[in-house]
Copies of this chain bind each other. A is one copy, B any other.
Amino acid sequence: MALNLLSNGFRVTVWNRTLSRCEELVEHGATVGETPAAVIQKCKYTVAMLSDPSAALSVVFDEHGVLEQITEGKGYIDMSTVDAETSSKISQAITEKGGHFLEAPVSGSKKPAEDGQLVILAAGEKTLYEEVIQIFDVLGKKSFFLGSVGNGAKLKLVVNMIMGSMMNGFAEGLVLAERSGLSQQTLLDVLDLGAIANPMFRLKGPAMINSSHAPNFPLKHQQKDMRLALALGDEQAVSMPVAAAANESFKKARSLGLGEEDFSAVYEVLKASLFNATA
């Protein structure tokens, strides 16, 4: 992401907990900030991309963290995937110091990030969104402004919930095809020519029928997102029987030790039969 900004003419100051990771960026023209606070001090807009909620909080609240230097006129954009609560906590701390805040989780993983093809789900201060849209245009193929802080996280949950239900429907269909004496490959071919053709079926289908589930999005994370989406539905009294059934199949997969595999491994739960069990 930083490389994309550099190659598009932005001046970039970088920090990473492991400073050696900044070297390639320095070769391409980046300056190094020694601490998060140092980066904030030098820059008008700071973009963070961290691994999880605790890292996101640490970079803001710890010593030499973002809060020490954030002031009126500076913007902080957290593109990490965190829960709405973490996001709100950071938002509140930043804005109390006069700073401006956006949460901006992304849809897409390593390859789209390298190619500037992320989908960016921004929420928080609209003025800041408008100011940094050129940054988003470099990092992503499309960005959305979703309103209040928390909405980025929520929209991601909704998308992932739909994806989890689809994966279950797809996996059930693959198992049904096999047990009914149909070619699974033909099913994939037919699906790919019709109204429900989509990149996920195209990408994962051939691997699934070989029971190959190299983790792209680990099942335990998908199941966590299903649980959180169902919890969101519970708050709003939205009944979602299909998502609930899909969640239980993902939980079954976890109980069978498949949590670290790709979420397509729910296929193995559905496929399991006496023959598999004794094989």
Contact = CB atoms under 8 A, between A and B. Distances in A.
Given A146-B186, A196-B198, A199-B196, A237 B273 contact: yes
A214 to B, nearest CB: 16
Contacts of A249: 239, 241-242
Query: Which secondary structure dominates where chain A touches chain B?
Result: helix
A181 B147 contact: yes
B183 A161 contact: no
A236 interface: yes
Interface residues of A, number: 79
B255 A248 contact: no
A189 B107 CA distance: 12
A110 B251 CA distance: 38
A165 B166 contact: yes
A236 B270 contact: no
Interface string A90-124: 00000000000000000110000000000101000
Interface stretch (A2-10, A73-81, A171-179): A171-179
A274 B248 contact: no
15 contacts: A107-B190, A144-B190, A146-B186, A154-B181, A154-B182, A159-B191, A159-B194, A161-B173, A162-B196, A165-B242, A176-B240, A195-B198, A242-B246, A255-B274, A256-B272
Given A162-B191, A239-B249, 6 more contacts: A144-B189, A151-B182, A155-B177, A168-B242, A172-B243, A195-B200
Interface of A: 107-108, 119, 121, 141-142, 144, 146-148, 151, 154-155, 158-159, 161-166, 168-170, 172-173, 175-177, 179-183, 186-187, 189-191, 193-200, 203, 227, 229, 232-234, 236-249, 251-252, 254-257, 259, 270, 272-274, 277
